[in-house]
Structure formats: C-alpha cells, structure tokens
C-alpha cells in the first residue's frame, strides 16, 4: 500500500517549505525550560494536554525541590500531585513521573538513556516524548516530534494525509532529510503557535501562504 502522503510532497516544494521555515524561524528550539535531559523528560511528560508556559511555571518550583531522578523516584505521590496539579491529569502524570524516575535510577544508573528503544521502556514515554528528549537533549534525530501543531500543519501543508501521529511521523521521515527532523518539528510548532493557529490561521502574516493551498486558509 502506498503511503498517504500529499501531492504537495514534490521535492522542490518540500525544499521551498523548509527554506521559508528557515527564514521565519532560524533559531527555533524547545520552549520547555530545562537544565538537563532528565528535566526535559519530566517537562515533556507534564506538557501533555498543557501549555509549555504553564509547565514552565510549575517546574520552576518543582525542580528546586526535586533535583534529580532519585528525588522524584522515591517522592510522596500525594506531594507530587499537589505540585503538578495545574498541568492537568495530575494523577496519571504523577504515576508516569515516579515510574520513569524509578526506572532511570534502578535500570539506567540515574541517567536518562539516549536511545529510542531504551526511552520507550520508561513509564509514560511514547515516541513523541522520546523524540523530544533525543532531539533536544542529545541532538539525535531518531524521528520527528508530532504534537498537535505538527499534526495540523503537516495536513494543511499537504505533507501528509494521515491523522494518526505515528503515520504522520513516518510520512515526514520519508520526505524530509534526516538532518532536518529535529529543527523541522521546532519550526512547525513555533509556526503553529504564532501564525498557523487551529481556529483562525493568520494567513496574511504567513510567509508560506503562496505555496499553501489548504482549505482552512482565511484568504
């Protein structure tokens, strides 16, 4: 079966999209505040169904109290729930945070593993979270982060016709050079937040407008 990529995946068009993203967001990076791979991992877990801004407010306090995996691995779950409550889904996130921290302490000598296979053994960690950690903390392009922004823009720009994040990731990996996977995700996320918003995209402000033919366009 042929992959459900869009007609907009002609190499010249893809190159043009990448060039326009470079012009608009040459220094795009992860918006989650962190000092090390472990903090990035925890912040990414907390970011599910929550804004990065809110996560950063919560972690600015959390990381002063819990400085490493060992601190969180054996922390009181009730205390963690109170600390992270503003991020939503705090009970499930607490289980993931404590579970992942214990696995890191007991299975990886207190260090966040730097491989997709090992990261996926951590409770609460799926491909999206693993890709964030590998790409941002370790500079390893193992895949493409597909959050809600990347998912939306991939379809609007006709880079994929899929709706499932895993399939969208595979589509993007087929058409985007591997050395661009990490930066591309950051750029699409920034563009999705600032310009190509879900309800009312700011097409008049978009430098991709001339090569975009999405049905969601506002002009």
Is 164 labeled as catalytic in the residue annotation?
Answer: no
Separation between Cα atoms, residue 204 and residue 207, nearest integer Å = 8
Query: How many residues are given for the chain?
Result: 219
Tokens (6 digits) for 153: 């823009």
56 class by beta-carbon count within 10 Å (0-12 exposed, 13-18 middle, 19+ buried): middle
119: nearest Cα among 33, 44, 30: 44
Q: Which of 93, 128, 158, 171 is catalytic?
A: 128
Is 35 labeled as catalytic in the residue annotation?
Answer: no
Q: Which of 147, 167, 215, 217 is catalytic?
A: 147
Tokens (6 digits) for 45: 């877990």
72: nearest Cα among 143, 123, 4: 123
Contacts of 117 (CB under 8 A, 6+ apart): none
Catalytic annotation, residues: 128, 147
């Amino acid at each position: 079966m042929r992959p459900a990529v869009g007609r907009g995946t002609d190499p010249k068009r893809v190159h043009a999209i990448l060039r326009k993203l470079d012009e608009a967001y040459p220094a795009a990076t992860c918006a989650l505040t962190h000092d090390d791979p472990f903090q990035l991992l925890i912040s990414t877990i907390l970011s599910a169904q929550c804004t990065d801004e809110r996560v950063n407010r919560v972690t600015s306090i959390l990381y002063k109290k819990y400085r490493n995996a060992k601190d969180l691995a054996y922390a009181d779950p009730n205390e963690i729930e109170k600390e992270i409550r503003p991020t939503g889904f705090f009970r499930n996130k607490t289980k993931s945070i404590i579970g992942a921290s214990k696995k890191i302490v007991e299975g990886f000598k207190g260090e966040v593993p730097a491989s997709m296979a090992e990261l996926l053994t951590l409770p609460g960690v799926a491909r999206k979270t693993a890709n964030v950690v590998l790409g941002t903390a370790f500079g390893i392009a193992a895949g493409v982060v597909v959050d809600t922004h990347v998912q939306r823009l991939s379809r609007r720009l006709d880079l994929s016709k899929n709706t499932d994040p895993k399939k969208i990731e595979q589509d993007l990996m087929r058409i985007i050079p591997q050395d661009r996977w990490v930066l591309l995700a950051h750029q699409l996320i920034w563009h999705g937040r600032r310009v190509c918003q879900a309800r009312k995209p700011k097409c008049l402000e978009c430098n991709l407008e001339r090569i975009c033919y999405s049905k969601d366009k506002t002009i």
